[in-house]
Amino acid sequence: MNIFGPLWLSIQLALATTAILLLIGTPIAWWLSQTSSRWKPIAQTIVAMPIVLPPTVLGFYLLILLGPDGAIGSWWVQLTGSALTFSFAGLVIASCIYSMPFAIQPMQNAFEALPRQMLERAWTLGASRLDAFFSVVVPLSVRGFVGGLVLSFAHTLGEFGVVLMVGGNIPGETRVISIAIYDHVETLNYAAAHKMSLLLLAFAFVVLLGMYVFNRRWDSR
Amino acid sequence: MIRLRHKLTKGDFVLDVDAEIPDAGITGIFGESGSGKTTLLRCIAGLERGASEDGLPAHKRNVGYVFQQPTLFPHLDVRGNIEFGAKRAMSNRVDGSQVIDILRLGSFLDRKPDTLSGGEAQRVAIAAALLRSPDLVLMDEPLASLDRARKDELLPYFDRLHDELSVPVVYVSHDIEEIGRLCDHLVLLENGRVTASGDLFDVLSRVDVPLLSGRNAGVVLWASAVEVEDGLTKFHFADGDIWVPGVFATDAAPLRLRIAASDVSICRERPSQTTILNVLRVTVDAVHRVDDAISLVRLDAGNQVLLARVTNRSVARLELKPADRVFAQVKSVTVRH
């Protein structure tokens, strides 16, 4: 029995999710941090929903949405010829939505902590908005980025309910480590469940510890 | 000349400015708090949307901005902060090493902003704004966040920038003394509108401007130090002389003196027994009633003008009217040094 297969799949899923969330979460977090639009509370609520919803509820709607008859799923079938549900790609989409608040909120907090004048100074010194974002905002929000990325990575790694609902249990495709552990417990294979659980425990500990050590070093530079 | 034309409505406040300022020297913008000084600067800089006809954003306007609080970029050292604007400059009209020299920044180029004092940080912020080679530098009360000692320390740098660089500056302040000391041109702002604008010396000697009729009233003039005696310096002033406590270099370029209207009193006859050193023979030029109690009197002292802030009762008692020959007692004088 291979315990590293499911772990590796989990890591791949977490890496893909984190990368996508960095790309789409950053502009959303920036918009939320700067806007005074009356739509802001609604957008914030939607972003925060996955924190409070049971994964089964989220998973259920995603199953319908991503299924071959769903809005996104049918379009995917037309595009690629295969279904999104019970596939790795489907898992990535589900994970992105599920882990979104964990990526966005730390970044948004970091952006909001930047004095407005810092930006205005960059603009009056000739930096365009994009230039100012990369030359001033990003270097001063490193903590927020690291926090957002580590949390969404770790959160995706520990995902269970949503994967079960939209991904099922296909080895090498959707059988991530949390599902594998659940399987082993169901079949009373406690030895294998132990090994995997311990592995995940250690991994999560190291990742989070790494983040907190980094934060500490960063602050005391 | 530089045309300033900006309109902006923010809640109840309306800014509506259409003025021209010279494209050289320092133009002071003076007004009470809430008069729209900072808003006007922000409009000129392009930081307020829709306030200018061209609609250009801040980074496309070649305008430097020095904020009241020097917010340097904490992730860059002093060099990085100064070069931020230089790297994005549209021209290299301003010589970077000259600015660093004038502001004496050479020794801490490698330091981080959080190791600088408030005055040092403001000098770095000024250098950064200048190295953008702007057509105009806007300064929003750059000394207001500093204490008296730091202010006095920083003021000579402004003099040197003024004398050695050709970049025009707009300098906002609610401190008329600061304006009188630094500026060449003056714009008065009240409730979002320009109420007077012109040469500093001319605007300050007007008696009909409400903003300058209270404790802000006073004139600024040029005078040369000629003699030092008993710890006092004698300045040549119009028809007479003025003695000022302190020692100033004689035979140097003329210095700027400020005489507040509240420090000038008027006598019909030359006072003999008085502690006031400076008594000048002057002619009443105009008497302007400010309110029920106070009048401003403009006095012609040869080629210079003085303002005196006196009570209406005194004006009546002395029967002051234009063309009267009287004596002005000057109690105190501030010298730019």
Give φ, ψ of B232 to 5 degrees: -115, 150
Q: What sign has the CA pseudo-torsion A153, A159, A163, A168?
A: positive
Helix (H) or strand (E) holding B134: none
- Tabulate helix, strand, coil % of chain B (nearest 5): 25, 35, 40
Q: Sorting pLDDT into bands at 50, 70 and 90, what band is A78?
A: confident
pLDDT digits (tens, 9 = 90+) for A85-134: 888 988 999 999 999 999 999 999 999 999 999 999 999 999 999 999 99
CA distance B256 to B237: 11
CB within 8 Å: B45 and A124: yes
How many residue pairs from chains A and B have C-beta atoms closer than 8 A?
63
Using alpha carbons only, give the angle A101, A173, A168 rounded to the nearest 5 degrees. Answer: 70
Tell me the pTM: 0.84
ipTM computed for the complex: 0.84
What share of chain B has pLDDT > 70, as a percent?
100
Question: How far, in Å, are A22, B172, B178, B212 from residue B31 at the CA level?
Answer: 47, 8, 13, 10
Q: What is the mean pLDDT of chain B?
A: 90
CA B209 – CA B202 distance, rounded (Å): 12
Amino acid found at B41:
L
Three-class DSSP category at A140: helix
Q: How many residues in chain A? A: 221
| 3-state secondary structure at position B56 | coil
pLDDT at A81: 83
Best mutation target, B38, B42, B59, B68, to test chain A (most A CBs within 10 A): B59
Residues linked to residue B5 through DSSP beta bridges, in sequence order:
B18
Interchain CB contact of B64 with A (< 8 Å): yes
Q: What is the mean pLDDT of chain A?
A: 90
The pLDDT score that the predictor gives to residue A204 is: 86
Share of chain B above pLDDT 90, in %: 55
Has residue B304 got a pLDDT over 90? Answer: no
Give the pLDDT confidence of A174-215 residue by residue, as tens digits: 888 888 899 899 999 999 899 889 988 898 899 889 988 988
Q: Which of A124, A135, A136 sits opposite B65 (nearest CB)?
A: A124
Convert the pLDDT of each residue in B32-81 to its tens digit: 888 999 999 999 999 988 777 787 888 889 999 999 998 899 999 999 99
User: Facing residues of B27 across strands?
Assistant: B170, B185
Contact A124 B74 (CB under 8 A): no
Q: Could you tell me if A121 lies within 8 Å of chain B, comparing CB atoms?
A: yes
CA of B90 vs chain A CAs: smallest distance (Å): 9
Residue A1 has pLDDT above 60, yes or no: no
Alpha-carbon distance A167 to A185, whole Å? 19
**Closest-approach residue (CA) in chain B for A123:** B59
Element spanning B91, H or E: none
For residue B238, name the pLDDT band (cuts at 50, 70, 90). confident
C-alpha–C-alpha distance, residues B177 and B181, integer Å:
6
What is the pLDDT averaged over residues B168-178?
Answer: 92
Sequence-distant (≥ 6) Cβ neighbours of residue A171 within 8 angstroms: A5
Contact criterion met (CB < 8 Å) for A125 and B57: no
Paired sense of beta strands B218-229 and B193-199, if any = unpaired
pLDDT, mean of residues B150-164: 87
Taking contacts as CB-CB distances below 8 angstroms, the residues of chain A near B96 are none
Residue B165 has pLDDT above 60, yes or no: yes
Q: What confidence score (pLDDT) does residue B262 get?
A: 92
Rounded CA separation B32/B2 (Å): 24
> Chain A within 8 Å of B90 (Cβ-Cβ)?
yes
Residue A217's pLDDT band (boundaries 50, 70, 90)? confident
Query: Å from A139 to nearest chain B CA?
Result: 7
In this prediction, residue B249 has a pLDDT band, given cuts at 50, 70 and 90, of confident
- Which residue type does B14 have? V
> What are residue A32's phi and psi, to 5 degrees?
-60, -35
Rg (CA), chain A: 20
User: What's the Rg (C-alpha) of chain B?
Assistant: 22
Check: CB of residue A10 under 8 Å from CB of residue A86: no
Give the pLDDT confidence score for residue A30 in this predicted structure.
97
- pLDDT category of residue B337 using cuts at 50, 70 and 90: low
Say yes or no: A119 contacts chain B, CB-CB below 8 A: no
Q: Which residues of A touch B89 (CB under 8 A)?
A: 126
Cβ(B72)–Cβ(B32) under 8 Å? no
Q: What is residue B208's predicted lDDT score, i.e. its pLDDT?
A: 84
Any A CB within 8 A of B74 CB = yes
CB contact B129 to A (< 8 Å): yes
pLDDT for A12 beyond 70: yes
Chain B residues inside the 8 Å CB shell of A118: 71, 73
CB contact under 8 A, A115 and B71: yes
